[in-house]
Structure 1
Amino acid sequence: MDQQHSSENESSFTPYPQAEREASYDLKHSGPGIASFIVNLIVFIGYIAGMSSAFAAFGRLDEHVNRSTEELYNLVADQQYFVIGVIVIIISFFLNLVGMILAIIGLALKHRKKRFAVIGFVVGLLPIALLIILTAIGYAVRGA
């Protein structure tokens, strides 16, 4: 009788219910979460490319002071790099907003893994946080 009683206790008690364990492995990744991760990675690369282009144009301005007409055409070309850089930054900003919206949708979906949505949200917040910090530093320096 002890063997029958002990086998009933072992089978009726499981430290982690089997149904919950199987359900946690069957979850799919959230589609909007993956999309937000990819979009925000592209945005991050876009910000770097735009800033590099704009800063490269500023770095070449000193080379063209008191130069010939031919070199002034090079100055105009450098300004085109600046304009392209600014346009890329503006496009990246709007794509950043799209990525953040996708991340929020990915986080709101039930019965889906949220790993990529969280990573996409964090990667999307980095440029926005950096923009806020740099704006605060700019106002502090300007006010000083």
Structure 2
Amino acid sequence: MDYNPPPKPETDAARPADWESSGQTVSADPAYVYQENKRDLKHSGPGIASFVIALVTLAGYVITFIYVGAQASSILNENNKLIADSAEAIMYLGLSVLILAAVNVIGAVIGIIGLTLRNRRKVFAVIGTIINAVILLLFMLLIASVLVNAGAV
């Protein structure tokens, strides 16, 4: 913690002349003690890392789905049948979503670590943990819906 010494009391020579006429006095309290303020706490490093991971994975999901959406026109032919050449785009989508989900798990764990630190601000840890958890929940719902629909066929 940085130590901020108390301000030095002003001497009579350093005071402006108009202070004497206004009747203001400067009281120097030699027993001044620096008290820690709650606002002086630093942000938790793992919390910031969790928040950044959440933003990076969000951007990764957006970029992945835009790329695969652009490739979707070449995946389906006129009869809505999958073309054999579309395996590369489907593989890219599956692999990137799995990698991003693994990174989200790491981000959620780091966010929980950021929440457990004492004497640190927890704003970024809370936001990062929530975003990573929501993305993981959506990923699990996506997998569950795919498995339910695969069993219905």
Bigger RCO of structures 1 and 2 (CA < 8 A, at least 6 apart): 1
CA distance in 2, matches of 1:128, 1:40: 11
Gaps of 5+ in 2: 1-33
What is residue 100 of structure 2 aligned with on the other side? Answer: 92
Give the distance between the partners of 2:66 and 2:110, measured in 1 at CA.
27
**Aligned with residue 124 of structure 2, among 113, 116, 125:** 116
Q: Distance in 2 between matches of 1:143 and 1:82?
A: 21
Number of residues of Structure 1 aligned to a counterpart in Structure 2? 116
The 10-residue stretch of structure 1 (42-51 or 87-96) with the greater mean CA deviation from structure 2 = 42-51
Deviations 1:37-78 (A, max 9, x none): 00111111212222333444444223377xxxxxx7xx63x4
Amino acid at match of 2:56: I
> Any gaps of 5 or more consecutive residues in structure 1?
1-17, 66-71
* TM-score, normalised by the number of residues in structure 1: 0.66
Structure 1 vs Structure 2: percent identity of aligned residues?
30
Aligned to 1:133: 141
Instruction: Report what 1:35 is aligned to.
Output: 49
> Residues 140 and 92 of structure 1: is their aligned pair in 2 closer, same or farther, counting only changes over 3 Å?
closer
TM-score, length-scaled by structure 2: 0.62
The corresponding residue for 1:45 is 59
Which amino acid is the alignment partner of residue 63 of structure 1? N
Q: Please say which structure displays the higher CA radius of gyration.
A: 2
Bigger helix share? 1
Residue 88 of structure 1 and its aligned partner are, at CA, apart by: 1.4
